[in-house]
Chain A
């Protein structure tokens, strides 16, 4: 991953980071790993770009959905080894 955020464009007479930089560095932004200056520029972009704000929100929602779904597979058998598997594991110990 790049260490510096750099690509900018002008909008209403001011220079801002472009969407590509913001979306590429989202993980580091959310993890609090950007430098103070990078974070400031990141947030200036978010202040004028509702599309990237929505991207950020839906990215965070995606992480929540993934965690919730993968953690609780409804169709999986109960999380019980069953006596056969317990026996097999314990028997393997003495082999």
Chain B
């Protein structure tokens, strides 16, 4: 298969309706365009959710195969990229579920603490710099990345799906088979745990 053949025909499938019609008609060039044009962004999603490169590629491949089979059911209510993105995420979640379950660390230890009267046990203060300034520093990026990686998986997954993949609460609830309320609780706790753990390090920096 010549990978560049779709790329040599700019504009051919830029109209999504044309692309979808061609996919439904079994046009090989349309399938190649779909993989080449959308594959990079979808691989990025897969890599963010699965921490192993091979898993990320396998999940992506499975997602495209599912998409190829289901394209006749694509109703055009969402953009093709949104539809594909959701299939990729579902494929990643299935792969995560199939992995050997390991005991999950409790997130409770990572959350803010309160006295019996409901007051915070510590006095919070602003950070010395804005997020925009801090993000320019490599050590800050590494700290935040490593801390997200260490979050308990059920909470990390919700943080990734809501804050990074920017899915809405209802979609995340449906994908994970949990209530919208549970999604909100996990997201809030994941953000709190992340904040709590990076806070002292950001003050040192």
Contacts and interface: CB of A to CB of B under 8 A. Distances in A.
Interface of A: 1, 7, 9, 18-21, 23-24, 26-28, 51-52, 54-55, 57-59, 61-71, 73-74, 76-81, 83, 85-93
Interface stretch (B34-42, B75-83, B100-108): B34-42
B52 interface: no
A87 B3 contact: yes
A21 B118 CA distance: 8
Interface majority SS on B: helix, strand, loop or mixed? helix
B65 A52 contact: no
Contact of A74 (B141, B163, B188): B141
A18 B114 CA distance: 10
A66 B159 CA distance: 9
A7 B61 contact: no
B181 A1 contact: yes
Contacts of B134: 61, 65
A70 B164 contact: yes
A85 B164 contact: no
Given A20-B118, A79-B43, A66 B148 contact: yes
B13 interface: no
B40 A80 contact: yes
B120 A51 contact: yes
B188 A26 contact: yes
B57 A85 contact: yes
User: What class of interface size applies to chain B in its complex with A?
Assistant: 35 or more
A76 B195 CA distance: 24
Contacts of B57: 85
A7 B151 CA distance: 29
A23 B125 contact: no
A40 to B, nearest CB: 19
B135 A19 contact: no
A21 B57 CA distance: 43
Nearest to B62: A92
A69 B120 contact: no
